[in-house]
Structure 1
Amino acid sequence: MQNRRQFLKKAGITTAAAGSATLAAPYVRAQSPIRWRLQTYAGPALAEHVIKPAIDAFNKAANGEMEIELYFADQLVPTGELFRAMQNGTIDAVQSDDDSMAAPVDVSVFGGYFPFATRYSLDVPALFYKHGLAEIWQEAYGEVENVTWLSAGAWDPCHFNTKDPINSLADLEGKRVFTFPTAGRFLSRFGVVPVTLPWEDVEVAVQTGELDGIAWSGITEDYTVGWADVTPYFLTNNICGAWIGHFFANTERWNEVPEHLQELFRLATDSSHYYRQHWYWAGEADLRVNGEKMQLTTIPDEEWETVEAEAEKFWDEIAAEGGRRESVVKILRDYRELMRKAGPPYRYG
């Protein structure tokens, strides 16, 4: 028995090349784990929901083989520099939308909030994994050196939270608003003045008068990150039903990760996408009804229809740029028509 134990011990640390009877070398926990640095677009309070649970779960399940260090918005690099920092290896992975991190791909305009592209959060995974957007994103990022697109998911809808009440389109005129690049480009058609600031400076900018409001989230985030304390009004109309965000990795670092850990990371990102589906959905309804910090206002439907009509023109302008942008707009339009034909609960009216 002692000899058998000695044989098994020796066999377990012998390489496979030594012979067909050799046992595979087991993973040794004492080996140095793979270490990644991942930066999210989200500040600390928001990251507690949109990514931290998934990364904590990954680190636990990786069982010492890999460890991901999570960094928050602008903590290592400004959000607008996330793409380049990941590409050159300063950070290993990113959670963000294409738009705000200035991804050099033609589909980046659809990241974040593309006006009226979605009605509900479930539209995002449906569009990517049943209607062809995933293949388009894979193709686009496949042309970019050293960055791998991993997955897409939905966040919250895009509403206005403001210092003064918004009851008509005229009330938006001249308002200085923190928002995303493409959303700001669209909203400027209605007199909104888009402002770009580091995420952590937004609350103070509202207090000092540098900003009149924010068009960056739904009401769940307003309460979670503290904006509800400085913007007492919430506009129930939204310009998009869900933010489109993604997980990305530096390609060289991704390829160094064993296949089983790659699969574990994908499962963790799916967990993050799933958590947000119910967290936002529940929060948006509950805080509209039970939240005590923000007063709800609404622009009448007949007036808001002019905003939706302007979005059609915006879509046409983007599609006219050709290539993948034209293909994405066609998918969005085909999907919207399918949802309309399906009727409630997919689309009402």
Structure 2
Amino acid sequence: MKHVVTKGLMAAAIAVSGFVAAPVRADDMTVTIVAGHPPVFRWVKHASQTFIPAVNAALEGTGHSITWSEQYGGSLAKVGEELEAVEEGLAEIGLVSSLFDPAKLAPQNVTYFTPFVISDSTVVSEWMDKLQSSNADMKAAWEANGLEYLGGAIGIDDYLLMTNFPVNSIADLEGRKIGAPGPAVNWLKGTGAVGVSGNLTTYYNEIKTGVYDGVIVFASAALPGKLHEVAPYITKVGFGAQYAGGFAANKDWFDGLDPAVQQALRDAAAADRVAYHADLDASVAKFLGIMTSQGATVTEVDDAFRQQWASGMDNVARVWADKLDASGVNGSAVLKDYMDTMRAAGATPVRNWDQE
């Protein structure tokens, strides 16, 4: 459940951040940037280490400067509340987790309804950044919420299954409670497991206390979250890489900026995406190795297992697209656009969700 922001809190935050609802031009600005996750997670770390320095460097000599207020880890908005914080003016810029705002950013969640498509997060993020402007429904979703998408797609490395029991067959999942982020709960349909919606900030305790028997998660977050301590059986199923959001600005605020500042923000978001994914690619194998050295057991399923899992699922992509179609959003076009884009980029999906 999302927390309702009181008018008093919003007014206080506006006063702190210096946000002005009407478009303004200023040489020296105070800008609040928000993320629900803490900096231990790579995409938040790069907001500090890549995005902000890139903006500052680009503004040198332009007569514009920014003093940053970095609000991460729930200090201003919890996971899934970033969109509202930016929309309402509590922050000018946010790392908006589209994954945890499936109602307001439904088209952005297309990757989470199309598992088993491609495991390369760099490819997914590059093309999802482009689709935010080229796909009419994706672009409209941001604008409907008063946001301007800047870029900096948060690609997520190939999802894994981490459990406190060994998985040798799909039958081993029968009756087990498995936590998964947002729409990824749908990946468990047909396996016999009980899918429970959750997120990285709670997984460790929920496995430790027996609420979950395991989680669907990715290696680059599993190690920082110490999940292998409570779920030491790591199964590489090949669910695929995903898109989880990116940098977005309050549109009224952004529209009032000097074009040089607007371009600096966009360029910095693009630089952040490149740096983040280079860091991500270098860490995945390393992190799996560290978890193995600390007692985890890593196994990879064969093609038959992967095909059995994918074939046993409902066509969740088709159900998702049809639901969007009925609501006035062209979900079928979004699904086809994404799948065509991935196939053109070299993907060989286990299931062609859009063609069934």
Question: Which of 31, 42, 46 is equivalent to 2:37?
Answer: 42
Q: Which residue of 2 aligns with 1:209?
A: 210
Instruction: Report the 3-state secondary structure (helix = DSSP H, G, I; strand = E; otherwise coil) of the residue aligned with 1:331.
Output: helix
The answer for the alignment partner of 1:324 in structure 2 is: 330
Percent sequence identity is: 17
User: Given residue 32 of structure 2, which amino acid in structure 1 is its aligned partner?
Assistant: R
Instruction: Normalising by structure 2, report the TM-score.
Output: 0.75
Question: How far apart, in 2, do the equivalents of 1:318 and 1:273 lie?
Answer: 28
**Match for residue 119 of structure 2?**
119
Displacement of 1:154 after TM fit? 1.9
What residue in structure 1 maps to residue 133 of structure 2?
A: 134
Specify whether residues 259 and 138 from structure 1 end up closer, same or farther in structure 2 by C-alpha distance, changes over 3 A only.
farther
1:53 matched to 2:53: no
Asked if structure 2 preserves the Cα contact closer than 8 Å seen for 1:159 and 1:239, the reply is yes
Which has the higher Rg, Structure 1 or Structure 2? 1
Question: Residues of 1 paired with 2:50 and 2:112: CA distance?
Answer: 21
Match of 2:309 among 307, 310, 314: 307
Q: Which amino acid is 1:86 matched to?
A: V
Letter in 2 for 1:156: D
Aligned Cα RMSD in Å?
A: 3.0
Structure 1 contact 158–243 (Cα < 8 Å) conserved: no
Counterparts of 1:155-174 in structure 2, within 5 Å, are 155-174=156-175
Mapped partners of 2:299, 2:164: distance in 1: 12
Counterpart-to-counterpart distance in 2, 1:75 and 1:188: 35
| Amino acid across the alignment from 1:39 | V
Distance 2:265 2:68 in 1: 10
Aligned residue for 1:21? none
Cα distance change of structure 1 residues 244 and 272 upon mapping to structure 2, 3 Å threshold: same
Report how many residues are paired. 311
Change (3 A) 1:96 1:175: farther
Give the secondary structure class of the aligned counterpart of 1:268. helix
Alpha-carbon distance between aligned partners in 2 of 1:117 and 1:39, rounded to the nearest angstrom: 31
Check the 8 A contact 1:38/1:92 in 2, yes or no: yes
Provide the rounded CA distance (Å) in 2 between the counterparts of 1:250 and 1:138.
16
Q: CA deviation at 1:70?
A: 2.2
Structure having greater relative contact order (Cα 8 Å, sep ≥ 6): 2
| CA–CA distance in structure 1, aligned partners of residues 36 and 274 of structure 2 | 18
Q: Secondary structure at the match of 2:201?
A: helix
Q: For 1:236 and 1:341, locate their aligned partners in 2 and report how far apart those are by CA, in whole Å.
A: 18
Answer whether contact 1:59 1:67 (CA < 8 A) is retained: no
Report the Cα distance in structure 2 between the residues aligned to 1:142 and 1:39, rounded to whole angstroms: 17
Q: How far apart are residue 254 of structure 1 and its match?
A: 1.6
> Secondary structure of the residue that 1:320 maps to in structure 2?
helix
Unaligned runs of 5+ in 2: 1-25, 349-356
CA distance in 2: counterparts of 1:208 and 1:308, whole angstroms: 30
Tell me the amino acid that sits aligned with residue 187 of structure 2. F
CA shift for structure 1 position 142: 5.5
CA deviation map 1:47-90 (0-9, x unaligned): 46443212441464246711232222333222233222221112
8 Å contact 1:147–1:250 — kept in the other structure? yes
CA distance in 2: counterparts of 1:54 and 1:181, whole angstroms: 28
How far has the Cα of 1:180 moved from its partner?
A: 1.6
Equivalent pair of 1:113/1:242 in contact (CA under 8 Å): no
CA distances 1:270-295 after superposition (whole Å, capped 9, x unpaired):
22211222222222223344641221
Contact 1:79/1:101 (8 A) holds in 2: no
The separation in 2 between residues aligned to 1:38 and 1:114, in whole angstroms, is 31
Q: Report if aligned partners of 2:156, 2:242 keep a CA contact under 8 Å in 1.
A: yes
Residue 197 of structure 1, CA deviation: 4.6
Give distance in 1, aligned partners of 2:27 and 2:122: 40
Distance 1:292 1:267, change over 3 A: same
CA distance 1:240–1:50, change in 2 (3 Å): farther
- Give the superposition deviation at 1:112: 5.4
- Matched to 2:134, the amino acid is E
What is aligned with 2:339?
Answer: 333
Compared CA separation, residues 69 and 110, structure 1 to 2 (3 A):
farther
**Quick one: structure 1 residues 96 and 57, their matched pair in 2 at CA, closer, same or farther if it must change by over 3 Å?**
same
SS at match of 1:224: coil
The one-letter amino acid of 1:57's match is P
**How far apart, in 2, do the equivalents of 1:331 and 1:112 lie?**
15
Counterpart of 1:265, as a letter, is L
Pair 1:275–1:337, CA change in 2 (3 A): closer
Q: Structure 2 vs 1, CA of residues 258 and 180 (structure 1 numbering), >3 Å: closer, same or farther?
A: same
Match of 1:28 in 2: none
